[in-house]
Amino acid sequence: MSSNSESQKSTGLHIGVAAPGVKKVDPILVIDSVKKSFGGLTAVDVEHLEIPRGAITALIGPNGAGKTTLFNLLTGFDNPDTGAWSFEGKQLAGISSFKVAKMGQVRTFQLTKALSLLTVLENMKLGAKNQTGEKLLNSLFPFLWRKQDNELEVKAMELLRRFKLDAKKDDFAASLSGGQRKLLEMARALMTDPVLVMLDEPMAGVNPALTQSLLEHVLNLKKEGMTVLFVEHDMHMVRHIADWVVVMAEGKVVAEGAPDTVMKEQAVIDAYLGAHQDTDLGVVTGRIKVISEEGK
Amino acid sequence: MQFLSASNPKRLLSSLLLLLIAMVLGFGLGATPASADSVGEDLERGITGNVKLEGEPLGGVRMIVEGGGYNAETVTGADGKWYIGVPGVEGDTYKVTLDQETLPEGIAVTGEGGATKDVVLGKTSPLVANFFIGEGTRVTVSMFDQVVARLIYGLNFGLMLGLAAVGLSLVFGTTGLSNFAHSEMVTFGAVAALVLGAGLQLPMWVAIPAAVLLSGAMGWALDAGLWKPLRKRGLALVQLMIVSIGLSLTARYLFQYFVGGGTEQLPGADSTMVPLFGSVALSMTDLVSMAISIVVIMGFAWWLLKTKTGKATRAISDNPDLAAASGIDVDKVIRTVWIISGALAGLAGVLWAYFRPGIKWDMGAQILLLIFAAVTLGGLGTAFGALIGSLVVGILVETSSLFIPADLKYVGALVVLIGILLFRPQGLLGKKQRIG
Amino acid sequence: MDWGSILNNTLAGLLTPTILAFALATLGLAMHFGFAGLLNFGIAGFMAVGAYGYAISVLTFGLPWWAGMIMGVAASVVFALIMGIPTLRLRGDYLAIVTIAAAEILRLLFLTTAFEPVTGSADGLFGYNNSGGFADANPFPPGDYGWGPWTYNEQTLWMLVFGLMVLAVATLLLWALMRSPWGRVVKGIREDEDAVRALGKNVFAYKMQALIIGGIFGALGGIVLATSTNVSPGVYVTSLTFFLWTALLLGGAATIFGPVLGSIIFWVLQAFLTNILPALAESGILPVSGIQAATLRYVLVGIGLMLIVIYRPQGIFGDKREMTFVK
Ligand SMILES: Nc1ncnc2c1ncn2[C@@H]1O[C@H](COP(=O)(O)OP(=O)(O)OP(=O)(O)O)[C@@H](O)[C@H]1O
Ligand SMILES: [Mg+2]
């Protein structure tokens, strides 16, 4: 891929040796002994983890490693058995999911949640925060919210163009294809102007050409100061845009580091392949096309 | 400017509870007894009486009438008279009770049969039901005995509900359908037994099993003729639920069309009282009914836990996609579930007909909410949860009438349903769903 | 057979206080189910709260009619809060069961003899329109108004005008709400509440607001009904809820005028069947007894409900694409 994007990589994010739980220079999210089990199965068991601010962090790991569950816990969609975590210094344990999102920590879902019977444009507008017209009493008086609504429309259309969905703006989201819904969900999350955006397999099912342009967009967002945490199985993409990689397996963080180094670590290769194999993980997994559950 | 800030739901909740209690108390204070000597005058028939002590009218005596799922009570006027309207028709049985607690000190019902008597509506209305009262000691039943008796009735009722509830729960677990027409399957069983037993004059030991078989066949027919085609059409769950409401209305009024609006009795009731414990006695019919319920439920549990189809049923309830992928014939299992659900509901209907007593076109609908409450309490879609839920609801309904007016006894169960959902939203045995 | 009177009765059924009351309640259901996706099976309970709230306020507490009506509406807000707090966080089917149970609890509480002095028990309540001054507030001088089947005396006219005004305001309100950003959030919640939550909206509060607003419409329906007949517990039964659902689905759940038109069609059809079926039975065209003919009407309602939901789930006036049942 282009050297241009390589040059955009942030470095010097951590303090000391890159190992699971390493301290970051400027962490935005700090996680401490978060544990969650379903019956006998421990889905997540994270001792300590810091996510660096202003950087793109990839969360990788084999299927069932607990990535989605960790996302659910961090965003208040599920409650951990124990543990605490803070976002920009504010404790988040026990805070309900919508408040977490209001603070600027916004997520997308692995199983896409397009709002089927709203149009694409309505889906987008719904994303924006602090809308006057969303309050019950104000909603009855259009002159209070009409102007803001029009501004949102302009912003939404810009994003839709970027995501190649502008032609579909008046269609019901139900009529979109699986990949388009994934895109819509990501664009909708960006409408909230998040501080930290957490994307659960954002590119699964999206065609490679569009992926490229969206990655550029994500890199731009980083430039504007947004922090990105994403789950992805495509190692090419991880290599391409991630500044930092966190590897999970069986609920635990087994490795952390810069993308190039971490994928060569034995623990990571073990986690993915289950045996001692002398290969670079990127070589193995980058070729595997991930077919995720779509069409829900 | 949102109505509610969820920031302190606890405080909001407690203030609401306070408000609710205040409202209920407010009602309670307003309700001064001894003001109404007649209720239900707009009903066509009624039961009346005159409470006199040595020729002098006695006011303020509480009278209770129960039967056919109907409850009402009133208090005698200063002239000693009382009147309670009843919805039944000729031939219906009602239980009339004089509350001896409301008689003056040292006075009791002295006549044969004590303070409760069964009356049968005749051609003329109102029917007169009088009690002989005079000086004497009340044959009071100790609180303990009352509680035990109520527990046993509750167990009986709960087991009966359980028969209906497990079927509803299985259908929900395997297909996701909240079947509002389940109550009509209950009625169907009772009506089938009536047609076979009273219409065709078959002996009841033939008629009842045949009615249960017919109910099973009905379950099969509904699946084959309606639910399976609708599933194949890809109807959403809410849509299916509303279809079941339509079916329920259709079936219920068809019963009324054929059976009429009155109450019919199933032949073969045996009201010989069998003493059990202290003053607690149960009729032969109740005992047999309980035994049947227990045996059938044990058989059902064995089926669910040990047979291949039973295991497949639980697998589908757990995870339908996985079950289908692992080679289970989902359609076949669902068909079996419908047959079993129909048969169990039919049996519940027959037993309910003896318990109420009587068969009426809307008898199933009368307990539908209790069945739903039981299923919800247990956790939607878990068969054993439904069973436990049924026992809780049954016992609650019967024992609550010790503390609250008899015509509010279903209210207690429904309030508990809502209460439990507050603290354990997934029900007693249910589990949480996966998000994301 | 007297076709003239059958036609006359049916046409008269087009505009009655009862139809206006049911249209209001159906509008409430549209807010709940059509727009917010809340499976409320207790709308009859909301109507009962409105009607009893009004009647009890006037009869027991001696309030004037307008204050009584406000009390009826306030009571429905309390009812919505009590019902919503435990259930709005749960899955939709739980809400269905809890609302149906709550409405039934309420009906049994109104029916029980324990509170007879206040609720009138099985006899219900009456006389509040006179003692509360609603009848006296009638601006129309005595006389006959209208023509043909739509001839009313001044009292019925007052009830109709009152009901129409309430219905018009409610319809307007629903329209204004649903085209606003607030309506967008509510519709989003209908589609997928987790997605809306992930965008930082307080889903619980929105659902509660929707439940309250729809509940108020239901209560207004009860109040309008109470202006024209007695308040009787036998009216607010589960079957009424099911009939209102049928009317809603007939018109189109996620539309503004669908619920109103659906109610009119449903109850006019009912009036027609009530008149024609016994007449057909009497004249021997239908080989059934008169009572059976009346029963047949409800059998047809049930079949009709099934057919609409299966073959035209978006209702008569709904957008074909906008099926309300995607979940
Ligand atoms: N609600 C639940 N109930 C029971 N088990 C669950 C639940 N949610 C997750 N699990 C289990 O927890 C483990 C972690 O699941 P999770 O979805 O977090 O994995 P993941 O890393 O996101 O996998 P993938 O890459 O396939 O998306 C899995 O074994 C899964 O089966
Ligand atoms: Mg995942």
Q: Do A115 and C192 lie within an 8 Å CB cutoff?
A: yes
Answer whether B1 sits within 8 Å of A137, measured CB to CB: yes
Between the alpha carbon of residue C35 and those of residues A119, B99, B160, C248, C253, the distances in Å are: 15, 52, 39, 12, 8
Instruction: Give A17-59 pLDDT, tens digit per residue.
Output: 777 888 888 899 999 999 999 888 889 999 999 999 989 999 9
Q: Which two tokens stand for residue B401?
A: 């009438």
Copy the structure tokens of residue B397. Answer: 């309904």
Helix axis angle, B182-194 relative to B330-355, nearest 10°? 60
DSSP B228-263: HHHHHHT--HHHHHHHHHHHHHHHHHHHHHHH-SS-
In the prediction, which pLDDT does A277 show? Answer: 53
Q: Could you give the 3-state DSSP secondary structure of residue B49?
A: strand
CA angle B127, B132, B133 (to 5 degrees): 130
> Looking at the predicted structure, is the pLDDT value of residue A295 above 50?
no
Model confidence band, residue A262 (pLDDT cutoffs 50, 70, 90): confident
The half-sphere exposure of A123 on its side-chain side, counting CA atoms within 13 A, is 35
Taking the Cβ of residue C210 and every Cβ of chain A, the question of whether any pair is shorter than 8 Å is answered with: no
Task: Compute, in angstroms, the gap from residue A61 CA to the centroid of ligand 1.
Answer: 12
pLDDT at A261 over 60: yes
- Asked whether B239 and B253 are in contact (CB, 8 A), the reply is no
Q: Determine the atom of ligand 1 nearest the C-alpha atom of A61.
A: 21
* Max mean pLDDT range (A271-280, B147-156, C195-204): C195-204
pLDDT in the model for residue B6: 38
Is residue C224 pLDDT above 90, yes or no?
yes
What is the value of ipTM here, to two decimals?
0.89
Higher-pLDDT residue of B424, C250: C250
Closest by alpha carbon to A119, among C307, C265, C322?
A: C322
pLDDT of residue A5: 45
Ligand 1 pocket residue status of A61, Cβ below 6 Å: yes
Cα distances (Å, whole numbers) of residue C297 to A170, B256, B259:
43, 12, 16
Instruction: Report the C-alpha gap between B411 and C181 in whole angstroms.
Output: 40
With contact defined as beta carbons under 8 Å apart, do C324 and C313 qualify? yes
User: Rounded to a whole number, what is the distance in Å from the CA of A277 to chain B's nearest CA?
Assistant: 32
Task: Map residue C321 onto helix, strand or coil.
Answer: coil
- DSSP for A2-31? -HHHHTT-----BSSS--TT--BSSEEEEE
A105 within ligand 1 shell (Cβ under 6 A): no
Pair type for strands A196-200 and A227-231: parallel
- Kindly report, residue by residue over B238-289, the tens digit of the pLDDT: 889 889 999 999 999 999 998 888 888 888 887 778 887 777 788 888 899 9
Burial of C178 from C-beta contacts in 10 A (0-12 / 13-18 / 19+): buried
Find the angle CA(C191)-CA(A206)-CA(A224) to the nearest 5 degrees. 85
Distance CA C149, CA C15 (A): 10
Give the SS3 label for residue A262: helix
Cross-chain residue pair A125–C180, CB shorter than 8 Å:
no
Q: Are C155 and C17 in contact (CB under 8 A)?
A: no
Mean pLDDT for C299-309 is: 91
Residue A46: helix, strand or coil by DSSP?
strand
**Distances from the Cα of C29 to the Cαs of A154, C37, C264, C268, in angstroms?**
35, 10, 15, 20
Quick one: which of B183, B166, B148, B178 has its CA closest to B391? B166
Per the CB < 8 Å rule, is C117 touching B247? no
Q: What is the pLDDT of residues A55-105, one digit of tens each?
A: 999 999 888 889 999 999 999 998 899 999 999 989 988 899 999 999 999
CB burial class (10 A; 0-12, 13-18, 19+) of residue A275? Answer: exposed
What values do phi and psi take at B108, rounded to 5? -150, 165
Band of the pLDDT at B68, cuts 50, 70, 90? confident
Q: Report the nearest atom of ligand 1 relative to the CA of A69.
A: 18
Q: How far is CA C110 from the centre of its chain?
A: 18
d(CA C241, CA C301) in angstroms, rounded, equals: 13
Sign of CA dihedral B380, B381, B382, B386: positive
CB of B264 closer than 8 Å to CB of B90: no
For the stretch C70-125, pLDDT in tens is 999 999 999 999 888 888 887 777 788 889 989 999 999 999 888 888 998 888 99
d(CA B156, CA A168): 61
Q: Chain centroid to CA B49: how far? A: 29
Q: d(Cα A3, Cα A1) in Å, to the nearest integer? A: 6
Helix, coil or strand: residue A191: coil
Name residue A42's beta-bridge partners: A37
Rounded to whole angstroms, how far apart are CA atoms C41 and B150?
32
Interhelix angle C154-178/C181-191, nearest 10 degrees? 80
The answer to whether C205 and B6 have CB atoms below 8 angstroms apart is: yes
Ligand nearest to the CA of A59: 1
pLDDT for B11 beyond 50: no
Distance of alpha carbon A70 from alpha carbon A80, whole angstroms: 9
- Residue C78: in which H helix or E strand, if any? helix C65-87
A234 touches chain B (CB under 8 A): no
Whole-angstrom Cα distance, residue A9 to residue B161?
66
Ligand 1: which residue has its CA nearest to atom 6? A38
Return the ligand number nearest the Cα of A65. 1
Q: Which residues contact C71 (CB under 8 A, 6 or more apart)?
A: C53, C54, C57, C63
Contact predicate B26/B64, CB 8 Å: no
Q: What is the pLDDT of residues A213-251, one digit of tens each?
A: 778 888 888 888 899 999 988 888 888 888 999 999 888
Alpha-carbon gap, residue B316 to B388, rounded angstroms: 21
| Mutation target among A118, A131, A136 for the C interface, most CBs of C within 10 A | A136
**A109 interface with B at CB cutoff 8 Å:** yes
Closest ligand to residue A79's CA: 1
Which of A109, A115, A139 minimises the CB distance to C181?
A: A139
DSSP A115: -
Check pLDDT > 60 for residue C166. Answer: yes
- Percent of chain C with pLDDT strictly greater than 70: 97
Q: What is the dihedral of CA C304, C307, C310, C313, to 10 degrees?
A: -50
Give just the sign of the alpha carbon dihedral B245, B250, B254, B260: positive
Q: Which of A35, A36, A69 to mutate to test the pocket of ligand 1 (most atoms within 8 A of CB)?
A: A69
CA distance A109 to chain B (A): 5
Nearest partner of A245 among A1, A20, A3, judged by Cα: A20
Q: Report yes or no: C123 at the A interface, CB cutoff 8 Å.
A: no
Contact C77, C216 (CB under 8 A): yes
Q: Report the length, in residues, of chain A.
A: 296
Contact C113 B32 (CB under 8 A): no
| Type of residue at A190 | L
For the CA of A62, the closest atom of ligand 1 is 25
Longest CA span, chain B: 81
What is the pTM for the complete model shown? 0.84
Are A101 and A109 a contacting pair, CB within 8 Å?
no
Nearest partner of B269 among B211, B197, B161, judged by Cα = B197
What angle (nearest 5°) sits at the alpha carbon of residue A187, between those of residues A183 and A193?
Answer: 155
Confidence band (pLDDT; 50, 70, 90) for B112?
low
A38 lines ligand 1 (CB under 6 A): yes
Distance from CA of A263 to the nearest CA of C (A): 32
**Mean pLDDT, residues A189-199:** 93
Instruction: Please give the pLDDT value at position B56.
Output: 81
Q: What is the DSSP string of C81-102?
A: HHHHHHHTTS-HHHHHHHHHHH
Distance CA C291, CA B434 (A): 52
Band of pLDDT at residue B433, cut at 50, 70 and 90: low
User: Which protein residue has the closest C-alpha to ligand 1 atom 1?
Assistant: B434
- Report the gap between the CA of A135 and the closest CA in chain B (Å): 6
Tens-place pLDDT, residues C264-302 = 999 998 888 888 888 888 888 888 877 788 888 899 989
Grade residue B13 by pLDDT with cuts at 50, 70 and 90: very low
Contact C34, C253 (CB under 8 A): yes
Residue A230 β-bridge partners:
A58, A199
Cβ–Cβ contact C200 with A under 8 A? yes
Measured CA to CA in angstroms, residue B38 lies from A59, B73, B124, C120 at distances of 74, 9, 18, 11
With CA atoms as reference, the chain B residue closest to C305 would be: B246
Q: What is the DSSP string of B279-347?
A: TEEEEHHHHHHHHHHHHHHHHHHHHHHHSHHHHHHHHHHH-HHHHHHTT--HHHHHHHHHHHHHHHHHH
Say if strands A105-107 and A196-200 run parallel, antiparallel, or are unpaired: parallel
Index of the ligand 1 atom closest to the CA of residue A201: 27
Tell me: pLDDT of A293 over 60. Answer: no
Q: What is the mean pLDDT of chain C?
A: 90
